[in-house]
Structure 1
Amino acid sequence: MNADTTSTSDAKSSPTQTVLVAVQTPVHSGMAQLLSYAHPVALAPGTLVRVPLGAREVLGVVWDGELPPQQGGDGLRPVAGVLDGLAPLDARWRRLVAFAAHYYQRSLGELALSALPPQLRELSAEQLARRLRRPPPNAAAVADAATAAATITLSAEQAGATEAIASQPGPFLLFGSTGSGKTEVYLHSVARALADDPRAQVLVMVPEINLTPQLQQRFAERFAPLYGPQAIVSLHSGMTNPQRLASWLAAHSGQARIVLGTRMAVFASLPGLALIVVDEEHDASYKQQEGARYSARDLALWRGKNAGAKVILGSATPSLESWHASDPAVGRYQRLEMPSRIGAGELPRLRLVDMGQQPRGAVFSPPLLGAITARVEQGEQCLVLLNRRGFAPVLHCGACGWKSDCPHCSAHQVFHKVDRTLRCHHCGSTQRVPRACPACGNPDIAPVGRGTEQLEEQLAHLLRNVITPERRAARVARIDADTTKTKGALQEQLAQVHAGEVDVLVGTQMVAKGHDFRRITLVAAVQPDGALFSSDFRAPERLLALLMQAGGRAGRDARYVAAQQTRPELWVQTWHPDHPLFAALRRHDWPQFAAQQLAERRQAGMPPFAYQALVRADARTQEAAQGFLQAAGDAARGAQLPGVDQVFLYPPIPLAVQRVANVERAQMLIESASRTALQRFLAAWQPLLHAERRQHKGLVRWLVDVDPQGI
C-alpha cells in the first residue's frame, strides 16, 4: 500500500528510489503491513527513518520485502529524514519481529515500533546525534566500589548444570528447588559466554520489575570490575524514557555486554547475542496482556534458535508446557535438575491448619499466631502472604444489601483504609468512603473480606506486646503495589527487611518469588483456597507454584537456620486440608504433581496437547460484542477458511469481568490439536474480521490473543 501521495508539482521532482517502511499501525486498522516511500538513494533494511503519515511525521524502520508493482518513486511521499549515526537493526532482529507479528496476529510495524524506546520515536536526527556523543550510561554504578568477586565454589549439582550448559546446545530447563543456587549457575554461564567472545552479549530476563534491583546488584558485583559499570544495563517499563533510550543505545551499539530486563527486553537490539536467561520462566507476567499479546518466554526460545544463542529457562516450579517439552520422550528441551539447597539447607516443613476447627471469624488461627510469636521472640523473621491488596475487597450494607460496586465496571471498588478511599483495580476510578450507605442511609456499612492492609493492621495489634531479643516491640511492614508506588520505595522497604528492621512482612505475590531473604524462617499463606476451585484450568498449577515459591523464602540461609536451632516452616490456613494439591506441597513434589496435571490435560485435550487462541471484542453493549464474534465465526465457517475443519470455535461468552471503564467485553475461544492449522486459520480469518468490523458500528475494538494465559 502506498503512503499518501504528494502534489503533482512535488511528484515531478520526487526521488526515484522506493523504500518499504514499517510504521506503527495497529492490526485492526486495516492498513498494510509496509508502506512505500521515496528516497534519493536505496536505504539498508533496518535503517531508522522519519516519514510522513497523514498529517504527522512518525518513526519507521526500513524493511526488506517485495516492492509493489509501481516502481521509481513517482507519486510517493519522500522520506523526511534518516537517523544517521545509528547502525541498522540487523536481520536477526527483523526476523524476530516478523515472526512475532505473524504468530501473534499483529501488524509488523506495530511490533517493530513498540519494541523501540519511546524517546527514540520523538528525537530528530540532530537530537539523536547529540545523544550518541554522550558517554555510555552508568546504570550499574552500584558496583563502583566493588572488587572482583572471589572465586565461588560450586556445589556438585551447580557444577554439573554449568558444564552441561557449556557443552550442550540446549535449550535448557534448569529445574532447581528454591535456594538451590540457580542464580550462581546463571552467573557462571554468563561469565563463560562473555569470556569466549569479546563481542558477546547476554540477555537476562525476570518476570517483574521489582526483581531487577537485587539481580543487577549481583551481576554488577561480579562483572563490573571486569567489564566496567557501563557494561550492565537494565530495560523495563519502570525506567524513565531517557534511561530506556540510553540502555537501548548501549545494547544496540554493543557497549552493554549484559542486559537485565522484564518481558519487553526480549525485543532489545543485541547484535552480539550469545546467551538468554529466563528466570522464573513459569511466571504468567512474561505474557503481555495489552496490545500485542506475546509471550516473552516463548519468543526468547525462538530468538535463541534464530540467533544461535543458548537459552536457559530456570524455575523451581516450571510451567507445565516447559516441563512437558523437557520430558526425555519429547526432547525439545534438556532438563537439568538441582534438587538440593545450598549448604545442605532443608526445604520448609508444611503445617496445614484446618480453618473448620478454628474459632469462628479468626483471621490468624491460634496455632499460626503462636508460631509467629515464637519466631519473632527468637529474632527471626516471618512472611505472611495474601494475594489481595487493599483493606477489604468490598464494603457492604447489612440493612439493604448495597455493595461498593464500581460505577464503570462489573466489579467492586476495593476499600483502602489507609486513605479512606474506594478504588477500582480495573479502571482506576476512586472515590471517598461514604459516611453512610448511599442507598438507605444506614451508617453501619462494613468491610467484607480481607486484604493486605487489614492483615498488617491486625498483626500489628496481635503482636503489640511481643518483644524481640533486641528488647524492642515487634515491627510489622507491608509490601504490595500500594506501598511501592513512589520511586525507590520498594528498594527502601526491601533494604529494611534485609537489615532486620522488620519482623513480620505482609505482602502479595510480588514478595513471594525471587527474593533472597536470609532471616525469614516462617512463611504463612492465610487465604489460598480461592484458586482451588477456579474455572481456569491453570489455577492449580499457579497456586502450587505460588505456595512453593513463597515457602522457598523460608530457611534460605542454612547457617543462620542452624545457628538458630530452628526449622523453616510453611503454614497454610485452608478449609480444604485434604485437597490433593496440599499433598504435593507437603512432599515438595513438583514432578509428580506435573505428571498428574499433564495426564488430566492430555485426557481433556488442553495445552500443551492442544493449541488455543482467543478473539476478544470490546463494544458499547454486550450484545454488540457477542454479535460481532458470532458473525465473525459464522463467516469463517461459511467461507471454508484454510484449517477451519481442524479448529473448533466455541460460542462467544462475556469475560469474567465483562464491563471495564463502561466498555462491554466478550470473547470466543478457538482450539485446535494442530498449531499449524490454528495459525493458518487465524491468518486467513484476518480479512473477514476486518470486514465484520465495518458492519458492527457499536464495536470499539477487537484483538486476537494466541496462546492465552487466562480464559
Structure 2
Amino acid sequence: MHPPGWKSSPPNQLPGVASRPRIRVLLPLPLAAGAYDYGIPPGLQVAPGDFVVVPLGGRQLVGVAWDGATDAALPASRLRDVQQVLDAPPMTETLRRFIAWVAAYTLSPPGAVLRMAMSSPGGLEPPAAHAGWQAAPGPPPARLTPGRARVLAALAAGQVRAGAELAQEAGVSPAVLRGMADAGLLLPALLPRGPAFAPPDLSLPGPALGAEQAAAVAALRAQVAARDFSVTLLTGVTGSGKTEVYLDAVAECLAQGRQALVLLPEIALSAQWLERFRRRFGVDPALWHSELGAKTRAKTWRAVAEGEVPVLVGARSALFLPFPDLGLVVVDEEHETAFKQEEGVVYHARDMAVVRARLAQASIVLVSATPSLETLNNVESGRYRHLDLPERHGAAGMARVQALDLRKSPPERGRFLAPPLVAAIGQTLARGEQAMLFLNRRGYAPLTLCRACGHRMRCPNCTAWLVEHRAQKRLQCHHCGHAEPIPPTCPECQAPGTLTPVGPGVERVVEEATLLFPDARRIVMASDTIPGPAAAAAAAAMISDRQVDLIIGTQIVAKGWHFPGLTLVGVVDADLGLAGGDLRAAERTLQVLHQVAGRAGRAEAPGLVLLQTFNPDHPVMQALVSGDLEAFMAAEAAGRRPGHWPPFGRLAALVVSSEDEREADRAARDLGLAAPRAEGVEVLGPAPAPLALLRGRHRRRLLLKARKEVPVQPLIRDWLARVTLPPSVRVQVDVDPVGFM
C-alpha cells in the first residue's frame, strides 16, 4: 500500500525499476490502512523493527519497519523512499506481535497502538555524550605543583573523569585543569556512560516469612526459574504480605538475568510501595507514569530498550515499553478498574498483560485481596494457578466489621455521621490512636439546587450535575472539567441566596469532623489535595509519624497504605456504589469497601470498621461483616451464569457520538438496523448512554452480548463495514467493557 499525499515519483527514483527492495512501515497514526510500503534506497539497510524516518504527504515522520509482505502489485515508480534509520534499539519481534494482537483484539488501528509504544520520542535519540579529562600517556614531569600532582594522582591510568568532580577531589580550580591541558598533561575525552539505573542488590535479606508465605515464594520462584509462560493468582487478606511474596519472585527474575515489570493502579500514590522495594533491594526501581517529565521519560524509555532497567514499576501504559527480555509481570490489585483505559485505544491492562507475558514466555502474577470474577473463573477453569495467604502477617489480626443501620441510628439533622460512629471516633482519639473516614465522592456536595424553584446546577457539556468545591468557591464537572463560580443568585428564578448543597462530599465531611473534633489533627486525602507522588509521600510520612489523628479521604485512602496507628475506619456512605444498573456494581462496592476496611488494625492494636448503610441486609454488607467474601463471589457467579453475562459470556459496547443529537440518533438507528443476527448473539439498543451528553457530544450505546465461544471481533468488523456513517460521527468500540457510562 502506498502513502497518500504525493503526486509523482521523487526525482531520485527511476520509474519502472521493478527490482527495488521495499519494506512495510507502520506509523504511529490512527490510520485504518495500517502499514505502508516504502522503497529502500541503495546503501541503506532496513530490517523489521528498525525505527525509520519516512515521508508522508509533506511531512517527515518516524515509524517502525514492519513485518509482512509488501504489495507486489504496487509499481516501484510509485514508492517513496525510507529516508533514515535511527540509531535506536530496534523494536523487538515480541513487542511488534503484541501491538498487532492488541490492535486486532480491541479493533483499533495498529498505528494507534504503536503510538502508545512510541510514547517518548526523545528516547529514540542517543543520550548526549559528556566530556571529561584523562591523564596524558607517559610519565608525568619530575617537577609538578602540589595541585597538579593531586590532579594526576586522582586519575588512574586510562580513567576519564568529569572536570568538576576531578577539580573538587584535587582541591583545585577548573583553571588549573585548563592549564594542565595547555601543558599537555591532560587530554579531553568522553565520559563513559554509567548504568541509567542502579542494579538491585540481590544479597540483601528479605523479611522473615511465615510458612504460608514461604510456600508461596517457593512456588513463584520455581515458575519464574522455568522461564516459561504461566499465570498465577496470588490472593490473601489485606496485610498478609502479598507484596513481600511477589518481590521475592522479582528477585528470582533478576537472578535469571531478565527484566521485571510491576503494574500498579495508582503509581502516583505508591510512596509506601517504593519504600518496601528500597528495603528489599537497596535501590529505587525505574518509574513510569504520567507525572514524569519529558527528559526522565526519554532516559527511562531508552534504558528499558537497551536492557538497562532491571525492574520498572508503572501505570498501565508501562505495558507498551520496549523490554527486550521480560521475565516477570506483576499486576497488583488486579481487580482495579484503573487498569481499564477508556479513551483512544480501549483496553484492559490486566488482560493485555497476560498476552504480553505469553508472547515473552514470562511468568505473570495477578495480585488481589478481592480478585475479579473474571480472574476467579480462570482459576476455576484451570487456566490460572492459585496461591492464597489466608492470614495477616505477624501479630495483627483482621479488623472487626459492623454495619450501622442508619434507619435505626440516623445522623442529626444536617449531619452525615451517625452517633455510634461519632462516639467510636471520640473513643479512638482518646486512646491516642488514629481514625479514618471514607467517602468516595470528591468536593463539598454532589448537587446544588435552588430552594425556591428547584433548579439544579448542570454541566452545559455533559449529562451531569455540577459538584460544589467550597474551598475553591466553584462548581465543577468531574467528567469534562468545566468549572464556574458559585452564582450569588439562582440562574433560573434569580432568587438570591437560595442555592443549597445537597448530599455530602468529602469536603463536607471535613467540615462536620472539624465541628465535632476541633482538636484532632486532620488530613484530607483526595485527588484534589494529593496531586502526585511527592504529595502522597508527604501525607504518608505525616500519618506514619503520628502527626495526624483523623484521616478523611476518597478512594485514594484505600490504596494499600500501611498505617500502624490506624485502628478505626468509618465508611460514611457504604451504599454509594450500589446505585444504578451496572453489572458489576455489587462486586466493585465489595472490593472498594474491603480495601478501605483493610487499613484498620494492621499492627498489634485491634481494628474496627463501621459501615453506615440504609441496607445492612444487602449481600455486600453481609459478606463484609461475616468476612465470607468467597460465598459472595460464588453467589455473584451463580447469578451471571444463566444469562451468559461476563465472565460466562462476551460483551462489546459500541458508543456512537456526535455534536448533533439528531445525527447521533440516525447513526445509532442505522447501526441497530444492521446489527448482526447469529445464534448465541444478541444486540441491545440503541439507547441513550447514561452520560447521554459528554464533553459536548451526544452519545448512544449499543451492546453486543454473545456466548463465550463466539468470536466477537469478526462480527463487529463486518457490522461496521455494512454501515456508512458521516465523518462527524464517531463510533468507539469497547470489547469487554467494565463500565457502562
Give TM-score scaled by structure 2 length: 0.86
Whichever residue aligns with residue 109 of structure 2, its letter is S
Change (3 A) 1:111 1:574: same
Rounded to whole Å, the distance in 1 between the matches of 2:441 and 2:10 is 64
1:348 aligns with 2:348: no
User: Which residue in 1 is equivalent to 2:98?
Assistant: 96
Whichever residue aligns with residue 548 of structure 1, its letter is H
- Identify which of 352, 366, 377 aligns with 1:299: 352
Whichever residue aligns with residue 259 of structure 1, its letter is L
In 2, are the aligned partners of 1:147 and 1:221 still within 8 Å (CA)? no
In 1, are the aligned partners of 2:654 and 2:733 still within 8 Å (CA)? yes
Rounded to whole Å, the distance in 1 between the matches of 2:346 and 2:108 is 9
Moved more, 677-686 or 176-185: 677-686
1:322 aligns with 2:375: yes
- Identify which of 686, 689, 696 aligns with 1:655: 689
* CA RMSD of superposed structures (Å): 2.5
Alignment of 1:511-660 (within 5 A): 511-558=557-604, 561=605, 567-637=606-676, 644-660=678-694
User: Which residue in 2 is equivalent to 1:470?
Assistant: none
Change (3 A) 1:592 1:133: farther
Counting matched residue pairs gives 668
1:668 aligns with 2:713: no
In 1, are the aligned partners of 2:573 and 2:612 still within 8 Å (CA)? yes
Change (3 A) 1:151 1:698: closer
Pairwise CA distance, 1:55:
2.8
Pairwise CA distance, 1:646:
3.8
1:677 aligns with 2:738: no
In 2, are the aligned partners of 1:622 and 1:654 still within 8 Å (CA)? no
Alignment of 1:21-100 (within 5 A): 21-26=25-30, 31-40=32-41, 41-70=44-73, 73-84=76-87, 86-100=88-102
Whichever residue aligns with residue 360 of structure 2, its letter is A
In 1, are the aligned partners of 2:446 and 2:467 still within 8 Å (CA)? yes
Pairwise CA distance, 1:509:
0.8
Pairwise CA distance, 1:18:
1.3
Rounded to whole Å, the distance in 1 between the matches of 2:739 and 2:664 is 19
SS in 2 for 1:161: helix
In 2, are the aligned partners of 1:178 and 1:549 still within 8 Å (CA)? yes
SS in 2 for 1:10: coil
Rounded to whole Å, the distance in 2 between the matches of 1:116 and 1:24 is 7
Rounded to whole Å, the distance in 2 between the matches of 1:499 and 1:326 is 41
Rounded to whole Å, the distance in 2 between the matches of 1:681 and 1:277 is 33
- Identify which of 364, 372, 389 aligns with 1:338: 389
Please list the CA deviations of residues 57-88 of structure 1 after superposition, one character each: whole Å capped at 9, or x if unmatched: 2221111012112467432222232212x221
Pairwise CA distance, 1:214:
2.6
Unpaired runs of at least 5, structure 2: 131-189, 224-228
1:18 aligns with 2:47: no
In 1, are the aligned partners of 2:202 and 2:281 still within 8 Å (CA)? no
SS in 2 for 1:543: helix
Rounded to whole Å, the distance in 2 between the matches of 1:137 and 1:664 is 51
Whichever residue aligns with residue 497 of structure 1, its letter is I
Rounded to whole Å, the distance in 2 between the matches of 1:87 and 1:288 is 28
Change (3 A) 1:391 1:349: same
Please list the CA deviations of residues 535-588 of structure 1 after superposition, one character each: whole Å capped at 9, or x if unmatched: 001000000111110000111123xx1xxxxx2011110111121221111122
User: Which residue in 2 is equivalent to 1:255?
Assistant: 308
Rounded to whole Å, the distance in 1 between the matches of 2:451 and 2:193 is 64
SS in 2 for 1:110: helix
Moved more, 260-269 or 211-220: 211-220
In 2, are the aligned partners of 1:37 and 1:73 still within 8 Å (CA)? no
Rounded to whole Å, the distance in 1 between the matches of 2:673 and 2:45 is 46
Rounded to whole Å, the distance in 1 between the matches of 2:709 and 2:193 is 47
In 2, are the aligned partners of 1:11 and 1:75 still within 8 Å (CA)? no
Pairwise CA distance, 1:679:
2.3
Pairwise CA distance, 1:266:
1.2
In 2, are the aligned partners of 1:174 and 1:336 still within 8 Å (CA)? yes
- Identify which of 232, 240, 262 aligns with 1:180: 240
In 2, are the aligned partners of 1:385 and 1:523 still within 8 Å (CA)? yes
In 1, are the aligned partners of 2:52 and 2:64 still within 8 Å (CA)? yes
Rounded to whole Å, the distance in 1 between the matches of 2:703 and 2:192 is 50
Pairwise CA distance, 1:486:
6.2
Whichever residue aligns with residue 297 of structure 1, its letter is R
User: Which residue in 2 is equivalent to 1:436?
Assistant: 489
1:474 aligns with 2:520: yes
SS in 1 for 2:77: coil
Unpaired runs of at least 5, structure 1: 465-472, 562-566
Rounded to whole Å, the distance in 2 between the matches of 1:673 and 1:120 is 45
Moved more, 365-374 or 50-59: 50-59
In 1, are the aligned partners of 2:196 and 2:303 still within 8 Å (CA)? no
Rounded to whole Å, the distance in 2 between the matches of 1:136 and 1:623 is 61
Whichever residue aligns with residue 266 of structure 1, its letter is L
User: Which residue in 2 is equivalent to 1:468?
Assistant: none
In 2, are the aligned partners of 1:212 and 1:261 still within 8 Å (CA)? no
- Identify which of 228, 232, 236 aligns with 2:289: 236
Whichever residue aligns with residue 531 of structure 2, its letter is K
User: Which residue in 2 is equivalent to 1:459?
Assistant: 513
Please list the CA deviations of residues 152-181 of structure 1 after superposition, one character each: whole Å capped at 9, or x if unmatched: 221111111111222346311011110000
User: Which residue in 1 is equivalent to 2:169?
Assistant: none
Pairwise CA distance, 1:50:
2.1
Change (3 A) 1:706 1:59: same
User: Which residue in 1 is equivalent to 2:463?
Assistant: 410
User: Which residue in 2 is equivalent to 1:425?
Assistant: 478
In 2, are the aligned partners of 1:136 and 1:255 still within 8 Å (CA)? no
Change (3 A) 1:378 1:710: same
Please list the CA deviations of residues 207-243 of structure 1 after superposition, one character each: whole Å capped at 9, or x if unmatched: 1123433323322332246xxx5xx201112212222
- Identify which of 422, 429, 436 aligns with 1:369: 422
Rounded to whole Å, the distance in 1 between the matches of 2:241 and 2:431 is 27
Pairwise CA distance, 1:135:
4.7
In 2, are the aligned partners of 1:658 and 1:664 still within 8 Å (CA)? yes
In 1, are the aligned partners of 2:46 and 2:85 still within 8 Å (CA)? no
Rounded to whole Å, the distance in 2 between the matches of 1:308 and 1:19 is 28
Please list the CA deviations of residues 648-673 of structure 1 after superposition, one character each: whole Å capped at 9, or x if unmatched: 11121111111122211111101110
Please list the CA deviations of residues 425-467 of structure 1 after superposition, one character each: whole Å capped at 9, or x if unmatched: 1111111111121222222221111111111121112101xxx
Rounded to whole Å, the distance in 2 between the matches of 1:361 and 1:137 is 60
Whichever residue aligns with residue 98 of structure 1, its letter is A
Whichever residue aligns with residue 663 of structure 1, its letter is R
Give TM-score scaled by structure 1 length: 0.89
Rounded to whole Å, the distance in 2 between the matches of 1:11 and 1:674 is 55
Highest Rg: 1 or 2?
A: 2
Please list the CA deviations of residues 108-136 of structure 1 after superposition, one character each: whole Å capped at 9, or x if unmatched: 11101222223348x6x578889x99956
Select the structure that is richer in helix. 1
In 1, are the aligned partners of 2:122 and 2:295 still within 8 Å (CA)? no
Change (3 A) 1:308 1:478: same
Whichever residue aligns with residue 480 of structure 2, its letter is C
Pairwise CA distance, 1:675:
4.7
Q: Once the two structures are aligned, what percentage of the paired residues are identical?
A: 36
Rounded to whole Å, the distance in 2 between the matches of 1:126 and 1:154 is 44
In 2, are the aligned partners of 1:203 and 1:259 still within 8 Å (CA)? yes
